């Protein structure tokens, strides 16, 4: 059976897929899959998939998976939110930094291209 193929409903190890979200981010793809246990309790699997190549040049996907259960959602969410907030506040956005550097370079170029004029030169 293929890895992405669903097992038949009556199959013994089947986990019902409820909802899926795919996020492509550069060279990585993240899969957020909500599944149900046999007791119909929902849980989340987060899978990171990266395209790799072996020595022969054949492509394969390296996958890492995290299982997150309902009783841990709030703690996980709080931790993730806190870490993202820290990174956002502690490290300036790269696009803002590049914009500031570009503005600084432009300002420097403009100031070098103008002649310094003293208002004393305009006295009558």
* Spans of the chain, pLDDT less than 70: 1-15, 95-124
Signed CA dihedral, 61, 17, 21, 70: sign only: negative
pLDDT at site 75: 97
Any idea what DSSP says for residue 8?
P
| Cα(107)–Cα(89) distance, integer angstroms | 27
pLDDT at site 74: 97
pLDDT at site 88: 92
Q: Which fold has domain 16-112?
A: Nuclear Transport Factor 2; Chain: A, (3.10.450)
pLDDT at site 124: 54
pLDDT at site 98: 64
Q: 3-state DSSP call for residue 44?
A: strand
Residue with tokens 């914009």: 99
| Cα(123)–Cα(114) distance, integer angstroms | 20
């Amino acid at each position: 059976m293929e890895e992405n193929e669903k097992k038949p409903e009556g199959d013994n190890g089947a986990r019902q897929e409820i909802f899926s979200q795919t996020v492509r981010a550069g060279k990585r793809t993240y899969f957020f899959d909500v599944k149900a246990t046999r007791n119909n309790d929902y849980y989340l699997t987060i899978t990171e998939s990266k395209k790799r190549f072996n020595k022969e040049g054949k492509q394969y996907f390296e996958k890492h998976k995290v299982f997150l259960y309902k009783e841990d959602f709030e703690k996980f969410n709080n931790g993730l939110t806190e870490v993202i907030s820290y990174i956002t506040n502690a490290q300036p956005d790269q696009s803002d930094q590049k914009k500031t550097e570009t503005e600084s370079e432009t300002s420097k170029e403009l100031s070098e291209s103008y002649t310094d004029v003293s208002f004393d030169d305009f006295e009558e």
